[in-house]
Copies of this chain bind each other. A is one copy, B any other.
Amino acid sequence: MTRVLVLHSVGLLRSALMALLKAEESFDVFASGWCTARRQAECLRPDVCVVDLDCPGAATLLEREQDEPGAEARTRLVVLATAGRPGALRKAFEARALGYVDKDGSPRRLVRAIRQAAEGERFVDESLAFCFLEASRVPLTAREMSVLARAAEGESIAEIARGLHLSNGTVRNYMASATRKVGARNRIDAIRISQRAGWV
């Protein structure tokens, strides 16, 4: 039996994904939201953990995973990804996820990805291949990303400057370079483009 833990922030979709995977007789399926994710993982010791990259908590979980030592003991990650969000895909790659399943694909692909990940093998949906190429080239620097992320939360230039210990002029420069680099028309456009791509 393969022990599978499904992590999703939305209760109903979590139950639905569970129902989908329970149809596989060789899977023992559990589900959890983000708050209890760590405790559940420790307690259940799943073979494979399925994470939806579009959930608000996914980025934090993947960052934590990235810092975990010991490649052997860790749970194998299978991520559900949306094509066109290279930033999210990159975060999953950096957290050493094994399976990459296109959310717009067939459920059979997810089942196959879980089986392969349980064996320690990689699985990548071909529809995500182009997105990986885009993910390999990060368009923004870490500073530009954090300036954009704060602006997206409604912070003013002065607030961002205080928060990051920079001058207002430097923040404005980061904003301008980020806007130029993602091919945006203005700041709001830069935030929109970067959020859709999953960089911010």
Contacts and interface: CB of A to CB of B under 8 A. Distances in A.
Interface of A: 10-13, 15-17, 19-20, 23, 80, 82, 101-107, 110, 151-156, 184-189, 191-193
Given A19-B23, A23-B19, A192 B107 contact: no
B107 A12 contact: yes
A105 B184 CA distance: 39
Given A12-B102, A20-B20, A188-B188, 7 more contacts: A10-B82, A13-B103, A19-B19, A19-B107, A154-B189, A155-B185, A187-B188
Nearest to A153: B192
Contact of A103 (B11, B110, B153, B188): B11
Nearest to A104: B11
Contacts of A154: 184-186, 188-189, 192-193
